[in-house]
Structure 1
Amino acid sequence: MLFDMDGTLVDSEKLWDIALEELAVSYGGTLSAAARRAIIGTSMAESMRILHADLDQPHRDPARSAAWVDARILELFRTGLRWRPGALALLGAVRAARIPTALVTSSGRALVEVALDTLGRDSFDVVVCGDEVDSTKPHPEPYLTAARLLGVPIDRCVAIEDSATGVASAVAAGAAVLAVPAEVPLDPIDGVRQLADLTGADLDLLGALLGAPTSDPR
C-alpha cells in the first residue's frame, strides 16, 4: 500500500492555504485561486515558482520563500493537523493485515517528521519524502522508489492520492490507483477509481483494484 499524505491521509491543504496566503500578503499581493489549485501536489520549488509568477514577482528567491513557508507550516502542523474522513480506519486495517505500507509525499523530511506524530511512526514500513528523490511527482520516481524499498512489484501496489499530480505519478509508475480528491475535483481517468473520501474503503476494495485476493492488497 502506498499512501500520499497531504489531502489524502490528513486534511493539511487548508494549513498550506494559510501559509501560502500569508507569504503572498507579506509580498504585498494575494494568491489567486487558480495558482493555489496549480500548487496542490507539486514540489516546494515548483510551488514557489507558481506563487512568484502569480504575484508577478519572478525575481523573488525561491529558496528564501520556501524556507519561510517551511517554518510557518511546521508551526501549523504541530497544532492543526487532522485526519481526512476514513483515512485512519483504512490505515489501521492495512496495518492490522500486515500489508507492507509506504508513505509517499512531496513534502520534505522535516515536515513529515512532524506529521508522523499524528500519523504514527509505526504506520509505515517506508517513508519517501519529496526532498529525498531526484524527481518529484508527477514523475514516477517517488512511487517506484517506495515499491522498491518495500520489496513489492509496483504492479502489485495500490496508491491512494488526492491530486492530479499525484495520480499522474502513481499511474506512470504502474500502480493501481484510488483517487480521493480533496480540494480540487479530478477529471475521470481510465483505470483510476474515484471516491469522495476514504469512508467505507476497506481491504476488499483495495484487493479489487488489483484484481487480487482481497486479503492481500499491497
Structure 2
Amino acid sequence: MTAIAPAAVLWDMDGTVVDTEPYWIQAETDLVESYGRTWTYEDSMTLVGAGLWESAQILRDHGVDMVPDDIVAHLTGAVRERLTKDGVPFRPGAQRMLSELSSRGVRMALVTMSVRAMAEQVVSHLPTNPFELMVTGDEVTQPKPHPEAYLTAAERLGVPIAECIAVEDSRNGLASAVASGARSLAIPHAVSIEAGVGYTTWPTLDSRTVDDLFSIPFPTSDSLV
C-alpha cells in the first residue's frame, strides 16, 4: 500500500501514548469504596475512553455522593499524584514514533478527554514536546465518541480532517476518530477492538515504522459512522 504522509497525526493520550488506565482504575475504586460501595474491574472498563463528566455521572450512580465537577477534580488529582509518584508509563513504541514523526516534520496534536493540566503533565515527561496543540476534555462540549475533539484539532491546525491520521486505543475514541473522517488507527489496550470497516487495527506501535503509519488507508464514504 502506498505511504501517503498526512497533514497531521492526531493522538489520543490515555491508553495510546501512556498506560494510565491502572491509575484511573485505582482512583475510581478508592473513591467508590470510600462510600461503602463496590467498584469492579468490569465497571472500570465501561469508563475507558469516556468523557470525564460522563464518567462522573456513572460514579454517582454507583453511590458517589459528590457533584460531577468535584468527582472529576478528585479523580484527576489522584491520577496526577500517581504520575508524580510512580512516573509516566509510556506505551510500547509511542515515544519512538512521536520522535520519528517529529524529526520528519509531521505536525501533531494531542486529542484527549483528560483535562489540560494532566495532559501538560504527561507531555512534560517527553524529551521535547512534539505536539503543536492540545484539545482536552475540559475544552469540548461533546466528549468522545462524538467527533468534536478531532474536528476541533484539525480546524485549529488549519488542515482537512480527511488528510489527518488519528491514533486511538478505545472504542469510544475510535468511534470519534472514524466519525470525524480521519484515517483511523486502533491500538487496543484495556478493551478489545475487533477488525472492522473504516479503520486499521494494530496490536502495538512497537516495531512499526513511520511509513507503516502513513500507509493507513483513507476511509471510504460508506465506512464513516
TM-score, normalised by the number of residues in structure 2: 0.87
Within 5 Å, which residues of 2 pair with 1:51-200?
Answer: 51-53=59-61, 55=62, 57=63, 60-79=66-85, 80-119=87-126, 122-200=129-207
Once residues 59 and 28 of structure 1 are traced to their aligned partners in structure 2, the CA distance between those partners, rounded to angstroms, is 11
Deviating 4+ runs (over 3 angstroms): none
Please list every run of 5 or more consecutive structure 1 residues that lacks an aligned counterpart in the other structure. 212-218
Equivalent pair of 1:128/1:146 in contact (CA under 8 Å): yes
Measure, in 1, the Cα distance between the counterparts of 2:127 and 2:120: 10
Q: Give the conservation status (yes or no) of the 8 Å contact 1:137–1:168.
A: yes
Partner Cα distance (1:101, 1:150) in 2: 9
CA distance in 1, matches of 2:130, 2:84: 18
Q: What is the identity, as a one-letter code, of the residue corresponding to 2:74?
A: W
> Are residue 45 (structure 1) and residue 47 (structure 2) matched?
no
**Percent same amino acid among aligned pairs?**
39
Pair 210,97 (structure 1): closer, same or farther in 2 beyond 3 Å: farther
Q: Output the amino acid matched with 1:94.
A: L
Distance 1:87 1:70 in 2: 22
**Structure 2 stretches lacking a partner, 5+ long:** 1-8, 219-225
Greater helix proportion:
1
Query: Distance between the aligned counterparts of 1:167 and 1:43, measured in 2?
Result: 13
2:112 maps to amino acid: T
Deviation (angstroms), 1:51: 2.1
2:36 alignment partner in structure 1: 28
Cα distance between partner residues in 2 of 1:163 and 1:93: 24
**Over the residues paired in the alignment, what is the CA RMSD in angstroms?**
1.6
| Post-superposition offset of 1:58 | 6.9
1:18 matched to 2:26: yes
Counterpart residue type for residue 181 of structure 2 = G
Structure-1 separation of matches of 2:29 and 2:15? 18
Deviation at 1:126, TM superposition (A): 1.2
Q: Please, which moves more after superposition, 146-155 or 6-15?
A: 146-155
